[in-house]
Amino acid sequence: MSDKGSTVTKEKVEKYLKLTAEARAKATPIAESQEDIGRLDSMMGMCDDYQADAKHFLEQGDLVRAFGAINYAHAWIDAAVRIGLMDGHDDDRLFTLP
């Protein structure tokens, strides 16, 4: 059994930072009601905060926390696409499409 995929490296964290930045740039808001716009703003705020945390942890050399944080960041974008607050433009590489 190989443990190649179970090791958190700086390169792996950087790969997911780039992937999440790509997803953040690609997904576009489609929320219409003020309530949904507020929800989306909150979700993207969480995404941005976790992305900043991931960068901070990476700078500190805490790769496990950096990896966890960037995955949370991406999950917020993915959730917004999944529930219809953002358009993922049919990109099933970056998003879990509805």
Between CA 42 and CA 79 the distance in angstroms is: 12
Structural class in CATH, domain 37-98? mainly alpha
Please list the pLDDT of the chain residue by residue as tens digits (98 residues).
455 678 999 999 999 999 999 999 999 999 999 999 999 999 999 999 999 999 999 999 999 999 999 999 999 999 999 999 999 999 999 999 87
The predicted pLDDT at position 3 comes to 57
The predicted pLDDT at position 4 comes to 66
Here the tokens at position 37 are: 């716009």
DSSP code, position 93: T
The predicted pLDDT at position 98 comes to 75
pTM for this prediction = 0.91
pLDDT digits (tens, 9 = 90+) for 50-60: 999 999 999 99
